[in-house]
Structure 1
Amino acid sequence: MLRALLSALPLCCALLPGLGLAALPVPTDNTPVLRIQGSNTINAQLGPALIEGLMHEQGLKSLQILPGAQPNEVRVTGVTPAGQSVTAEVAAHGSGTGFTALKAGRADIAASSRPIKDQEALELTSLGNLKSPEGEQVIAIDGVAVILHPSNPLQQLTTAQLARLFSGEVQNWQEIGGRPGEVHLYARDEKSGTYETFKELILARNDKSLSRHAKRFESSEQLSDEVSQDRNGIGFIGLPYVRKAKAVAIADGDSKPMLPTTSLIATEDYPLSRRLYLYQPPQAKRPWAQELVNFAQSPEGQAIVARNGFVAQTVQAMKVQATPRMPEDYQALTRHAERLSVNFRFAQGSARLDNKAQLDLQRVVEYLKTHEKLNRSLTLVGFGDAKHDSERATLLSRLRAMAVRRELQKNRVSCCEILGFGDEMPVAANDADEGRIKNRRVEVWVQ
């Protein structure tokens, strides 16, 4: 595939000396090899770090991350063994700006901390299907943390309380059990994917709008630092930017309160967990863009994801503590097996595994091979939602687990047992599609 891409390049590009056919082309006219625009959550740190990692893998030296032409923009630079300069440009002005830049031809990749909207995908159909596995890549999992001043005594909030707080309906902390004091709101700006996620999961779902009194920020770091200095402040932020503030546990519907911990975010059980995406036009791929996507999914790329404070998609086994709220069979499972840090989820309105789950299949298989567990007892545990009656939910939860088993069997992984718990143990409220989709999940347990 790379040979075909290289053969289609104009004559202005030359291969990196001494690195053979696997090397990526470098323009001789000093134009950027890669342009990424979009999410501040991704491009403030993670995007440049992934590019730097790719450049290092390509044998470039003297790597630097330098300020760009505008605030929240950087250039990642390196030098080939032959002395050629290589530059990539990264702009972090919000997820929506990435799709605008793709449409205008000013970017090769859009970085987004939310899924592409139907209208955005429609406007970019000339570049291919950006919702396809080739166009949409989940590179990390993040949690939108709700942050308070460290001295605020509140330890948990519900999604309904968050909606009342950020809409301005609750104006004094005493109204929700806190100490007396006027609530001060801090929020990301309109172009931010973090704001889009919070608006969709919290405000819109509760028919509320953000209070006009909220202070808005383009910079994640600045927002967090201001909350950490305001005893009455509350804000929301991507997980790596909690900094000196205090994150609180969040409960959604009948779910238990959950802190934004690595394990709960990895499985996407945490109510405000979200996926971080790179969108690459399938019909307009450039070699550096394609290789960056590949690198981000590699073990080396996922290690960079973790170092930058996000949750990598690397599969790990974890012990789960039994609680009285768990079904008896589930409690038994916790005593003799470990849960893998991945949940399989499905495309909306479909029995097809979503784009992330299709890659997770390979990650699970690789984990089982690496840890010599291919022949160990494997249990797939399906869950559903309460949209229909409980018996139907139980049946559908088993069918989802069976769908994952079929895919694993194609990779010569045999599963010993299928369990279906229907609408038990919800991780989200069932009153909206977003919550129901999160509840329709399949866990993987291995002995």
Structure 2
Amino acid sequence: MCLAVYAQDVTLTSRDGAVEIGGNLLGFDGEFYRVDTIYGELTVDGSGVRCEGPGCPSLTDFVAEVDISGAATIGELLMPALIQGFALRQGFLAESEPDEDVVLYRLRDRESGREKGRFRFHLTNTDEGFADLLADEADMAMALREIRREERQHGREAGLGDLTARGRARVLALDALVAVVAPDNPVRRLSISDLARVFTGEIGNWRALGGPDAPISLHLRDAKSGLGQAVEDRLLRPVKGQLAADAIRHDSDAALARAVAADPFGIGLVSHAARGNGQVLVLTGSCGFSLSAARRTIKTEDYPLTAPMFLYLPARRLPKLAREFLAYTRSPRAQIVIRRAGFVDQQPEEIAVEAQGNRLANAISGAGDEISLGDLKEMLGRLGDMKRLTTSFRFETGSVKLDAQSRSNVEQLAHALEAGRYDGRTLVFVGFSDGQGPAKGNRTISERRARAVRDAVVVAAETANLDQVEITTTGYGEAMPMACDDSAWGRQVNRRVEVWVK
């Protein structure tokens, strides 16, 4: 983007000389000019005009410049791997030039050595990434949380459009918040409700959790980091709790993990990918369910504290090289790169019933009193010879709106349908609910949600030949809970739409 270079007067004249546009050049992506004129901001096809003035870029030696700002966790660990993978696929060499909080990657043609693009990473935090994007000083923002209401409003006022709209925000990879303690801490399991009470300060001694008689010390990321803010959004907001004031803050995931591992009475909330040598606690509920963070449970969102890693984009057109990079991040090759970098990819996996461990048995044993043996037989008779996709859909707390990870899953599944990946097969969207309210009503709600998700995927799969795949829906209400209904988090995990294939 490099606004300091482009903010100069230019005049664009049509090839026949009939139309002339003057103003400040805001950007050039190798194909289109973006000019601030007396009529407002205009985007003009470069193939139809001549450019005159000190700000005119070279058409023959154009080098795409892409500024990316935000969460250092993404910029330091994930993006370098994706840039290298993208360069390899495009036939480029990627050379890095680190300079304090900015890392520049130059992409050169492997044969000619000619520079093709520059990706500049400003490694700060999620807050700074959003601020740079909203100020039009970045082309993408790396974020470890969703954009908040006041930030969305600021984006609309700045002319950047709705940054949460389809195509404006995308999930790059998946991670999760996990509770970690020192390796020799005797506590190995903790209910998610107690975890929230620990971080609000309501529980301050390990004895209340089955541990030693010692005060609990809290460890968190710094308040401006996306991970630190995700703790408030994902863990504390559902219980309307306030974070304890005495939490020890750390400026990196690695520093947090090291501090907890060395603190015999400490507990921290850290990224699953950066958990270090600490002991990860299993989350439990009063009804006996256990929820562990693992690649598969994070991908399916069966683990309740998933933490998607986002790229937010402006409404304006990005350079072709940037658009090609974004397309690459959704490719199967990129999913392998994401996995090797230590994060959870979004490539759908098929899980046979026999490979799902005790999931079905545990869930059935926890079904409510209103679920009959006939209901369970019906469900197992329908799903027993099918496989569950790791692509699941869940909803925001207290809403019928899909959450961020699920909105990304709509796009991922739609792309797979467009690519013909499920041609000749059957896809069943299966809805489930929590156990609040009558079982009959819950089944109706779950069926309605399954149809809504199916419809969203079909609409997104614009070029798919849906005559080649059978798509149906069903719902089983509260017949297969994944977690206890005694907490908002458990109920949210239970309200879901799964996809089963045959």
**Under a length normalisation based on structure 1, what TM-score does the superposition of the two structures give?**
0.84
Per the alignment, residue 104 of structure 2 pairs with 75
Instruction: Please name the residue that 1:293 is paired with.
Output: 326
Q: Which of residues 294, 297, 303 is equivalent to 1:270?
A: 303
Looking at structure 2, the residues matched to 427 and 113 of structure 1 have their Cα atoms a distance apart, in angstroms, of: 25
User: Is 1:205 aligned to residue 229 of structure 2?
Assistant: no
Is 1:130 the equivalent of 2:163? Answer: yes
How far off its partner does 1:35 sit? 1.3
Deviates more, 1:409-418 or 1:272-281: 409-418
Structure-to-structure mapping, 1:173-192, within 5 angstroms: 173-192=206-225
Distance 1:363 1:156, change over 3 A: farther
Q: Are the structure 2 counterparts of residues 258 and 333 from structure 1 closer, same or farther at C-alpha, using a change threshold of 3 Å?
A: farther
Q: What percent of counterpart residues are identical?
A: 27
Q: Given the superposition, is the C-alpha separation of residues 170 and 279 from structure 1 closer, same or farther in structure 2, using an over 3 Å criterion?
A: same
Once the 2 structures are TM-superposed, how far is the Cα of residue 429 of structure 1 from its aligned partner?
A: 5.5
Give the alignment of 1:21-420 within 5 angstroms.
26=63, 33-61=65-93, 63-70=94-101, 73-80=102-109, 81-85=111-115, 86-125=117-156, 126-251=159-284, 256-318=289-351, 319-321=355-357, 322-326=360-364, 328-329=376-377, 330-331=379-380, 335-345=384-394, 349-350=399-400, 355-365=407-417, 369-370=420-421, 374-385=423-434, 389-406=438-455, 407-408=457-458, 411-412=466-467, 413-415=469-471, 418-420=474-476
**Counterpart residue identity of residue 56, structure 1:** L
Q: Say which SS state the counterpart of residue 273 (structure 1) adopts.
A: coil
Q: Work out whether residues 175 and 271 of structure 2, in 8 Å CA contact, stay in contact via their aligned partners in 1.
A: yes
User: Following the alignment from structure 2 to structure 1, what is the Cα–Cα distance between the partners of residues 124 and 287?
Assistant: 36
AA at the equivalent of 1:87: R
1:12 aligns with 2:48: no
> C-alpha separation between the residues in 1 aligned to 2:148 and 2:76?
22
Confirm or deny: 8 A CA contact 1:148 1:245 kept in the other structure. Answer: yes
How many Å separate the matches in 2 of 1:286 and 1:122?
Answer: 26
2:495 is the alignment partner of 1:440: yes
Give, in angstroms, the shift of residue 186 of structure 1: 0.9
Give, in whole Å, the separation in 2 of the partners of 1:5 and 1:261.
41
Cα shift at 1:175: 1.5
Contact residue 344 and residue 442 of structure 1 kept, 8 A? yes
Aligned length: 424
The letter of the residue matching 2:89 is E
Instruction: Output the CA distance in 2 between the equivalents of 1:15 and 1:227.
Output: 54
The CA deviation at 1:378 is 3.9
User: Hey, what's the Cα distance between the residues in 1 that align with 2:414 and 2:197?
Assistant: 42
RMSD: 3.0
Q: Which deviates more, 373-382 or 258-267? A: 373-382
Q: For 1:15 and 1:388, locate their aligned partners in 2 and report how far apart those are by CA, in whole Å.
A: 67
Secondary structure in 2 matching 1:271: coil
Distance 1:435 1:117, change over 3 A: farther
**Which has the bigger relative contact order, CA under 8 A and spacing at least 6?**
1
Structure 1 unaligned regions, length at least 5: 17-24, 28-32
CA distance in structure 1 between the partners assigned to 2:244 and 2:433 by the alignment: 34
Matched position secondary structure for 2:220: strand
Q: Provide the residue aligned with 2:53 in structure 1.
A: none
With structure 2 as the length reference, what TM-score do the two structures score? 0.76
**Match of 1:295, SS?**
helix
Provide the secondary structure at the position in 1 that maps to 2:327: helix
> How far 1:254 moved relative to its partner?
5.9
Q: From the superposition, tell whether residues 90 and 59 of structure 1 become closer, same or farther in structure 2 (CA, over 3 Å).
A: same
How far 1:304 sits from its partner (Å)? 1.6
Q: Distance in 2 between matches of 1:98 and 1:255?
A: 41
Gaps of 5+ in 2: 1-27, 34-45, 47-55, 368-375, 459-463
SS at match of 1:336: coil
Q: C-alpha displacement at 1:176, in angstroms?
A: 0.8
The whole-number CA distance in structure 2 between the counterparts of 1:99 and 1:139 is 16
Give the counterpart letter for 1:313 in structure 2. Q
Is the contact made by 2:435 and 2:485 (CA closer than 8 Å) also made in structure 1?
no
Residue 262 of structure 1 and its aligned partner are, at CA, apart by 0.9
| CA distance, structure 1, for counterparts of residue 231 and residue 338 of structure 2 | 22
Q: Judging changes above 3 Å, is the alpha-carbon distance between structure 1 residues 91 and 388 closer, same or farther for their aligned structure 2 residues?
A: farther
